[in-house]
Structures are given as structure tokens and as C-alpha cells.
Chain A
Amino acid sequence: MTDLWDGISRAIWMVLSLDANLLEITLRSLQVTLTALVVASAIALPLAAFLSVRRFRLRRSVIALLNALMGLPPVVVGLVVYILLSRSGPLGVLGLLFTPTAMVIAQVIIIVPLIASIAHQSLRDLWAEYHDLLISMNVSQWQKITTLLWDARRALLTAALAGFGRAIGEVGAIMIVGGNIDNATRVLTTAIALETGKGDFALALGLGFVLIALAVLVNLAIHWLGRTEREGRW
């Protein structure tokens, strides 16, 4: 019990004094996750809009697949990306294994279905509302997609933030493809796993506090966006 309190007090001090090690790991986490978020959003949001406005034979199957992929086990994603990027794999020549880029790839694969599914639900409802109007205006397919993406921007940001929440807390896949290398691929979650294993509860807890703070911030942002959505402030 004494160890625990000691660990917590040291952790608080590390956070308050902006410990260099803690700061570096936090910044790398944000860098990897935000990059993954931008790439995943660029794929998932237009895909969700396309699935909302376009009717084609396998549409329902694609939507069902996206929903199913939301539950994709991250460890399996990590394993597949590892195999693809390993020296003997088809993409081994790129030399990306154990780099932040590999971690970004794994996170993108994990959060694209999540963002696309949540975004699709919002865009589908908006499309039902707009359908007759946009058809009557002879709006092109591309204009339909851009109109939906712009008018549903608050809901889409909420979808993106949900993706951010999933990615920042992810550990299995990025541990496998990143390797948890100090000063290179160590991020908040992998560092917590390592420090806990080593028995350094202070650093592990400090990292945990930062992770929780980020998760809380994301949830507050979602809550605030929901309010501005109802008030139509932006």
C-alpha cells in the first residue's frame, strides 16, 4: 500500500514537473495517433458518404463488413501488419517494421472501420433528410458527398474523436509492429505495460494519468460538440 501511495505521489510530481521522459513518450503517442487519425479519416469519411448516397449490389454487405470489422482484435491486426512488413514479407523491402510508420498503419487499420461505421450512421440519416432536395437540384454524386460531409461535420468530428480514443489507448498491435523501442517507438500504452512489468509504478502511473487525461479531454470534446450541434453554432 505504501508503495502504491509513493508511486502515485511520484507520478503526480512527474506530471506537474513535465518530466522529460514522460513528455517525450506523450508527444510520440500524440504524433502517431493524430497521424493515424488524419489518414483514417481521409479514408473512412468519404467511404461512409459514398455508402450513404450510392446504391450498388454489395452495399449492404460492405456496411455489414465494416460493422463487423469494428470488433477486429488489435493483436491480430498487429500480427498481419508484422507479417506484411517483416523482412520476408511482401512489403519488407520498405523497411518499415519497428518504426512509428508501422504503428500508424496498424492504428489506421483498426480505426477506419470504427470511424466509417459511426460516420455512416450519421450520414445515412442526413441523406434521408436531404435526398429529395438534392435530387431535385440535379446535384452530382461528388457534390452530394461533399454536401453531406460538410453539413454533418460536427457528427463526423465526433466519429473521428471516437477513433482517436480507440487509437490512443491501443496497445496490442503497436507493441507488435513498433517493438516498444526506447526513444523510437515507445508510446504511452506500451510504456505503461513495460514499466508495470519492471515494477516502476511511478512512471507507469504518471503515464496512466496522462492517458486518462487525454481520454477525458476527448470525451469532453465530444460532449461539447454535441451541444454545438444542437445549437448550430458552427
Chain B
Amino acid sequence: MSDMFPLTVTGAETRRRGKILVGPVDLTLAGQGSCVVIGPNGAGKTSLLRLLHGAARLSTGEITWACDVEQAHHDQSFVFQRPVMLRRSVEDNLMYPLRIRKVPKAEARDLAHHWAEKVGLRDMLKRHAPVLSGGEQQKLALARALITQPKLVFLDEPCAALDGRATREIEEILNAVRATGTRLIMTTHNMGQARRLADEVVFMRQGRVHEHASAETFFDAPASEQAQAFLNGDIVE
């Protein structure tokens, strides 16, 4: 399924105005399941996702995909912590990524209706997207990211501002997507969510990958004191 993996990151660093936002990072990700990136605030989780996605400029180092980089970017999408709604209807928001890829209008509309049904927005297709509730906007953002059938989806704290019910709905969608073989790389502050969704964990601290292990290994026996402290809920710098 994921012929874009393994993803290899070697000495990658991103800086802004001379300050290192993330890095140097060395990381290899295989092509299955969901990878959850955790760590304290300011650890560089979002910056790492943006760097891998190509949305942040690589200052030094290298990021290589198993396929051509253009193809890799074509086959991935990104869901932001604060969903960005195009000032259009729900239907037009869903159709947008397809239309920019020249998918015929009728086909794009059918797919939009299919995905709206899947995420429970079927009755809201004609509504103006920016007036939806936070949970509805995040579901729409997720459906819009998935409608092109990407092989990899980055999710930056997709449930950060949502209540329990909306979080559960989003997690159900993510589990269904993961079951189809789509690779998920997401950040979260919610340890319960990390335990529920993660196949592997990347623990970040001070802009670097501090630990990278399978979810079972990480949650049962973290290798470092800082990771253990973080899991215990202690304050980790």
C-alpha cells in the first residue's frame, strides 16, 4: 500500500530567524499503522509534522521518501489543529481538493456526498462551512483530507478543542482509515488517545526525537527517565 515508505529523516533541522524550531532529527518510519508524536509543549511536535509534510523549510539535513518527493507530497494530506474552512459550503469544501486535481465535477460531488455521509455531515452539505461548530469543522477537515485517498495523513492535535463525544467520533473515523492501510502520523496531548490510537510512539523533547518505539514498548517500559516522567504526568522540560 504505502510505496512511499520508509520515510528517512537524517539530521533534519528547521530554523526561524536563527532559532532552531526542531532538530536535528534522525528518524525512520515504516509504512504501517499510526504513529503518535507526543511530548511537552514546545517540544517541536507540530514543527516536526510540518517539516515531514514539506510545509516548513528544511534548514539542514535530509528527508527522503521511497518514492519521488513530488509523488510523496501528492499522496499525503494534513489536518490542522484549528481547522481551516474555505468560505464555501460544506459540499464545496469537500469537492475542493478533488477539483484542483481536475476530477470531473459530477464525480467530485458524488465523492463529497459519500464522505459527508461517512463523517455524519450529510444534512449539512449546503451549509456555509465557517458557521459549523468546532466538532463539525474538524470532521469536515478530516473528510476533506481523506477524500483524495492519501496514503499518509498528518494530524496535528485533531481533537484538541473537542468534547468527549466529538473526540470519539473522530477516533472512530481514524480507526476506520487506519484499517484501510492509510498511514497516520499525529500529535496529541491526550495520553488516553495516544494509547488508543498509537501503533508506535515518537516522544519529543527540546526539539529532538528523544525516544521512538512501538506503542506497547513505550507505554509499558519507556527507555528514558524523561519519558517515564511524562507518562506519569510530571512536568518535563
Contacts and interface: CB of A to CB of B under 8 A. Distances in A.
Interface of A: 126, 129-130, 132-133, 135-140, 143, 147, 151-152, 231-233
A140 B70 CA distance: 13
Nearest to B86: A151
28 contacts: A126-B87, A129-B84, A130-B86, A132-B55, A132-B78, A132-B80, A132-B84, A133-B80, A133-B84, A133-B86, A135-B55, A137-B77, A137-B96, A137-B97, A137-B100, A138-B73, A138-B74, A143-B100, A147-B86, A147-B96, A151-B86, A151-B87, A151-B88, A231-B128, A232-B128, A232-B130, A232-B131, A233-B128
B53 A136 contact: yes
Interface in B66-111: 73-74, 77-78, 80, 84, 86-88, 96-97, 100
Interface in B166-199: none
B187 to A, nearest CB: 15
Interface string B201-212: 000000000000
A136 B88 CA distance: 18
Contacts of B130: 232
Interface string B28-56: 00000000000000000000000001010
A152 B97 CA distance: 18
Contacts of B97: 137
Given A136-B77, A136-B78, A143-B100, A130 B84 contact: yes
Secondary structure class of chain B's binding surface, majority of residues: mixed
Nearest to A229: B87
B55 A136 contact: yes
Contacts of A231: 128
Nearest to B83: A133
Nearest to B127: A232
List the 6 closest pairs (A to B, CB-CB), nearest first.
Answer: A232-B128, A136-B78, A133-B84, A151-B87, A143-B100, A135-B55
Contacts of B84: 129-130, 132-133
B25 to A, nearest CB: 20
A135 B77 CA distance: 10
A183 B211 CA distance: 83
A79 B191 CA distance: 72
Nearest to B145: A136
A232 B87 contact: yes
A135 B100 CA distance: 13
B58 to A, nearest CB: 14
B112 to A, nearest CB: 15
Given A129-B84, A151-B86, A139 B100 contact: yes
Contacts of A132: 55, 78, 80, 84
Interface string B116-131: 0000000000001011
A147 B86 CA distance: 9
B81 to A, nearest CB: 10
B73, B80, B100, B131 — which one has the most chain A CB atoms within 10 A of its CB?
B100
Contacts of A136: 53, 55, 77-78
Nearest to A136: B78
Contacts of B80: 132-133
A90 B110 CA distance: 57
Contacts of A135: 55
A133 B96 CA distance: 11
A125 to B, nearest CB: 11
Nearest to B78: A136
A187 B25 CA distance: 69
A130, A138, A139, A233 — which one has the most chain B CB atoms within 10 A of its CB?
A138
